[in-house]
Structure 1
Amino acid sequence: MNEVSPAIPDSGEDRHATWLELFFDLVAVAGVAQIAHLLHGEPGPADLGQYALLFLAFWTAWICFTLYGNVAGEGTHARTVLAAMFGMAVMAAAVPGVHEGENGQARALALAYVVIRMLANRAWRHRRELLVDWPAAQMSLGVIPWIVSLWANEPVRYRLWALGIALDLWVTFTVSARDIIENRKAHDKREERHSRRRDTVPPVSVAAPHADHLSERLGLFVIIVLGEGVAQVIEAASEATWNRRLYGLASAAFFLLVALWSLSFRHGYAGVPYLTARSLPARAALPLHCLVSGCLAALAAGLGAAAEHPDTLPTGTRWLLCASLAGYFLLTGIAALRRPDGVRRWMLSVVLPCCALPLLIAGFGGGLGTLAVVWLLVAVTLWPTFYESRYSKRADAVSRPGA
């Protein structure tokens, strides 16, 4: 019977995103833009739920092939990746129709998602490797509700999609590496039993992602999301009357996006603020990346809506801006739990006020103008960097001889 080979260590070679991977990520640009547009206007609970569901589905499809390219390297099958790229383009194009309740577009999106997941499963089986860090990439349990949804209508269709995402998360957090290996060994044993010749099934190895390359791909996705924020403001400004109020709002939006970029990359890892390399296992770091990206995409949609209302923000837009920023900092707190020192001080001095202040602005800022709301959010976003610099200077002063 075949045995599973030991884990492959990270080779440490200097790898970067290939032209094929960058071409693949262009679809992520279109997908994030289409999904972010779901939150235009004054989004209600149904719009937010649909946004979260479609963003999770799109990100899941993207990460399956991101991990495949990461592990396969030069052995990546270009035709398989391009086929998945076409499927993601179909998903992105179908998003507006899904939002409007069109059955044809909804079925097209579900079918494209199923095909992408099946392609990923087939690619991993062809490589005879087990990705124990993210088992949902090569397990099809979460795809079954999506297949059933091809014959369902609203609202059952959306419930089935949510069930499929929930099953993927359940597999990710509950199925251990040992379970994955044992299941594959049992599957190989059945294949050997039904084959004419013994030992015809090649051995299976445990795949280990290339950490630096994966960090680069994850960071590129966050850059795409931040770029969508810039695009949303530009699109809204191109159709608005240019005056001093619009100039101030565009400047505030730009400063906010720059501050978020600084937190995510100058003070973060893989686009996640205050995350450090290998401080969290992939099963925790990847969902954190997904949620951070989702909050930033929602914030981008809110900035675009704010540029359309330079005088006073609608209540729904104000809540979208403030709640997405509060969620971003809540996730920052989770990523910072592995800080080597001062975790409690960091939580009380940075995470708590950065989560609470945006929510207070959302709840009691109805009398504030659009410009005031966005500049207040800029001040909240700059606070962690300001606190970090002051705390570092104080720590250096205490550590000096004779202090």
Structure 2
Amino acid sequence: MTDSAPPAENEQSERHASWLELFFDLTAVAGVAQLAHLLHGGPAWADLGLYAVMFLAFWTGWMLFTVYGNVTRDQVRVWRVLAGMFGLAVMAAAVHGVREGEQAAAFALAYILVRSLAGKAWERRREYVADLPITRLGLGLTPWVVSMWFDGTARYALWALGLAIDLVVMFAVSTKSPEGREGDASEDAAVWTGHRPPRKLRAAYTDAPHLGERLGLFVLIVLGEGIAQTVSEASEVAWDSALYAVGTGAFLLLILLWSLSLRHGSDGVPLLSPGAVPVRLTLPLHCFVAGSVAALAAALGDSVAYTDAAVPERVRWLMCGSLAVYLVIAGAAVARSGRSVPWALLLTGPPLALVLAVGLTARDARAGHLVWLLVLALWWPLVWRLRRPSGAPAAPGSP
């Protein structure tokens, strides 16, 4: 097996998303919007579980083609990217009817085709992507194929099983880069596939700065959905001082999320320093961040209807729970970015405690009060990040 060297550093710094990649990202706009609707009206636990599974599936399909364009650069096959884009569009269109079972088979079939199409690209190139092992190791796709013969809960459980296998592969399969990163993916591939890969199979590595830009763009899309949800709901209610308070607070909350993830974070992950974790670990973190922000966007839209009444418990917990997930990831990112554990706890512990306290006790809170308490929670890590002690590593600068 031979390794292909990463792109030169000067090439990495000058590369930006192409028109094809930006066009492809329009499917993310549609997909995130449709997935957010699964959470409208105060979701039950079953709705949250289905949302998590479908969001992870959609994100996986988007990521496979994002990495394909990232690695192949000028050698990307346009027709393959557009075919993947169509498959993701079908997945997005099927979201609305999945809970009733009407479009569940269409969603699963589109996911299978997207995964298969992406995998065939690497077979033709006789390469595997060291930073994204599931491009060649398709064991997680098997439960999706089996699910075509099941209905209801059994089908969704098989989807979750397939995605869980992919996550295990992402964390368990080690890789080896020209700089001597850990392990040798060929040996792990032999374990997961049951046979050794071809001798001349080459390891391809991602262009980290370009991939970081794409990940950041995805988070921007999700934040945009928060604005869209709030604006859409605000257009259907009476405009009064209570609505102004909710709208202003929601906008400020999204600004803080943008600042923590993109100005003071890396790859869309809040407060993460560049290169602090391997790409294959950054990708799941990015998925969880994007999923939590999309859930918060849905909750913000729902909260607009409760300017003069207490926010329902399910909507309140959707807001607080999604923000709590975001803060937990931010705390882990701070700890992995070379800062001490006490500093990470000081940065994210108080806001996390406040968010959980609001979820537990603010039973009679109206939307305006609830949103502004969450703004206060997110303000804390931003202020304390700017007051980092001397000698602590700085987060990446703003673009």
Question: 1:224-243, CA deviations, whole angstroms, 9 ceiling, x for partnerless residues?
Answer: 00000000001101111111
Q: Which structure has the bigger radius of gyration?
A: 1
- Aligned position for 1:43: 43
1:272 aligned counterpart, secondary structure: coil
Question: Per-residue deviation at 1:155?
Answer: 1.2
Shift of 1:6: 2.6
Per the TM alignment, residue 179 of structure 1 is displaced from its structure 2 partner at its CA by 5.7
| Structure-1 separation of matches of 2:333 and 2:101 | 37
Equivalent-residue separation in structure 1 for 2:108 and 2:184 (angstroms): 29
- Compute the TM-score of the two structures, normalised by the length of structure 2: 0.91
Within 5 Å, which residues of 2 pair with 1:322-361?
322-341=320-339, 343-361=340-358
Counterpart secondary structure, 1:274: coil
Alpha-carbon separation, structure 2, partners of 1:162 and 1:239:
36
User: Which residue identity is paired with 2:84?
Assistant: A
Structure 1 CA distance, aligned partners of 2:171 and 2:158?
20
**Mapped contact 1:120–1:138 kept (Cα < 8 A):** no
What's the CA shift for 1:348? Answer: 2.8
- CA–CA distance in 1 between the matches of 2:231 and 2:332? 32
1:119 pairs with one of 117, 120, 123: 117
Tell me the distance in 1 between the aligned counterparts of 2:173 and 2:266. 26
Question: Shift of residue 385 of structure 1?
Answer: 1.5
Question: Given that residues 319 and 362 in structure 1 are in contact (C-alpha distance below 8 angstroms), is that contact kept between their aligned partners in structure 2?
Answer: yes
Measured against aligned partners, the alpha-carbon deviations of 1:318-339 in whole angstroms (never above 9, x if no partner) come to: 0000111111010001111123
Identity rate, percent:
50
1:176 deviates by: 2.5
Task: Find the aligned partners of 1:387 and 1:59 in 2 and give their Cα distance.
Answer: 32
**1:163-202 counterparts in 2 under 5 A?**
163-177=161-175, 180-182=185-187, 183=189, 186-188=196-198
Indicate conservation of the 8 Å contact 1:35/1:51, yes or no: yes
Q: Which runs of 4+ in 1 moved over 6 A?
A: none
Q: Which residue of 2 aligns with 1:29?
A: 29
Q: Which residue in the other structure is 2:96 paired with?
A: 96
- Per-residue deviation, 1:391: 4.1
Is contact 2:306–2:366 with CA below 8 Å preserved after alignment? no
Query: Paired residue for 1:158, among 156, 159, 169?
Result: 156
* Aligned partners of 2:80 and 2:117 also within 8 Å: yes
User: 1:233–1:250: 8 Å Cα contact kept in structure 2?
Assistant: yes
Equivalent position to 2:266, from 266, 269, 289: 269
What is the CA distance between 1:7 and its match in structure 2?
4.3
Change (3 A) 1:131 1:391: closer
Structure 2 residue aligned with 1:128: 126
Deviations 1:237-259 (A, max 9, x none): 11111111111110000000001
CA contact (8 A) 1:236 1:304 kept: yes
Judge conservation of contact 2:223–2:294 (CA < 8 Å) in 1: yes
Q: How does 1:248-259 map to 2 (within 5 A)?
A: 248-259=245-256
User: Alignment partner for residue 285 of structure 1, among 277, 282, 286?
Assistant: 282
Per-residue CA deviation, residues 251-286 of structure 1 (Å, 9 max, x unaligned), is 000000001101111110111111111110112111
What is the root-mean-square deviation of aligned Cα atoms in Å?
A: 1.5
Equivalent residue for 1:147? 145
1:374-396 alpha-carbon deviations (Å, 9 max, x no partner):
0010011111121223445xx49
**Is 1:68 aligned to 2:68, yes or no?**
yes
Shift of 1:173: 1.6
| Amino acid of the structure 2 residue aligned with 1:188 | P
Q: 1:6 & 1:90 partners in 2: Cα distance?
A: 36
CA distance in structure 1 between the aligned counterparts of 2:361 and 2:220, rounded to whole angstroms: 32
Which has the larger displacement, 353-362 or 48-57?
Answer: 353-362
Higher mean C-alpha deviation, range 246-255 or range 331-340:
331-340
Q: Which residue of 2 aligns with 1:310?
A: 307
Shift in Å, 1:16: 0.7
Q: Quick check: 1:10–1:211 contact (8 Å CA) kept in 2?
A: no
Aligned length: 375
In structure 2, distance between residues paired with 1:187 and 1:269: 34
Distance 1:336 1:139 in 2: 31
Match of 2:81 in 1: 81
Unaligned runs of 5+ in 1: 190-202, 397-403
3-state SS, counterpart of residue 186 of structure 1: coil
How far did residue 139 of structure 1 move? 1.8
